[in-house]
Amino acid sequence: MLIYFDWVLDMRRKNLISLAALLLGAVGAALRLAELRTGFEPGTGLPVPGAAARTALIALTAVTAAGALFIAIKLSGEYREPAGYIRTFRVRVPLFALLQVLLGLVTAVSGLWCLGLATPPMGLEGLPKWLFAGLMVLTGASMAATAALAFLKRENGLLPLTSVIPAVFFCYWMVCLYRENAGNPVLQDYCYSALAMAASSVSFYFDAGYAYGRRNLRASVFMDLSAIFLLSVAAADPAPAPLRLALAAAALYKTSVSFRLLSVLKRHRRRAEEK
């Protein structure tokens, strides 16, 4: 098993780990859909004890988390920490950078779509929904701006700000999700969405640390891979279409960011000589 992981973590293959996390997330989303169809009582909405899809999804989540942790620890020991946001996350292929910008814009459009589905009332009553949609639009614009600024090598100025805004939004989204389900005794209804919000907030936070000179390779790798998986699973939850679209866009965006992070890692000189 360790020989297999050494093969995966080789210089030429380690960036494919991000795609593997996305693929596992797609499998998890399929299991989540199956759980939503067969894992709850039709009349009461209570979980069916021992539902096969739920058990399989829990096992897949545990295995993915353990694998992500092992990979993060292994990489942080084998490879040097990259310095600076530009050197770490800047993509050199214009089409790849354009894809990141478009995924950010999709997130911004999802926020506008939320307002189009049900325009909140003016005043204090509708303030939380206006704030949520506005933050989603701002987050999408920040994701697009971060990708564009990194591609253009503009590390000073707006980049430290735009890179950290998504962390704030996903934290706020988690709070909103909790408030909506405060009276819901069935944790299985929203647990994967809550985990996805938490993982995404922490993932964006640690990635933004590279713009502030505070690098943590182990935490970035683990949280990026966890966020990719959980966002993919949460996109299958029974939420309004714009929210599912935003989750899917965020999963793809984090995949591209993680892919770039893993691709720029270089071995410690001593370990490279041993190899």
Rg (CA), the chain: 19
The candidate with the shortest Cα–Cα distance to 97, out of 143, 157, 161, 138, is 143
Q: How many helices (H) and strands (E) does the chain have?
A: 11, 0
Q: Which two tokens stand for residue 43?
A: 């009349």
Q: At how many degrees (to 10) do helices 191-208 and 217-234 cross?
A: 150
Full pLDDT tens readout for the chain, 275 residues: 444 444 444 445 667 899 999 999 999 999 999 998 887 777 777 777 888 989 999 999 999 999 999 999 988 887 787 778 888 888 888 888 899 999 999 999 998 888 766 555 454 455 677 788 889 999 999 999 999 998 888 776 788 889 999 999 999 999 989 888 888 888 888 899 999 999 999 999 999 999 888 888 899 999 999 999 999 999 999 888 899 999 999 999 999 999 988 888 776 544 444 44
CA atoms within 13 A on the CB side of 67: 19
Q: Which two tokens stand for residue 84?
A: 């600076």
* Total domain count, the chain: 1
Distance CA 119, CA 166 (A): 23
Which domain covers residue 238, as residue numbers? 2-274
pTM, whole model, 2 decimals? 0.87
Amino acid at position 100, single letter: Q
Distance CA 204, CA 173 (A): 14
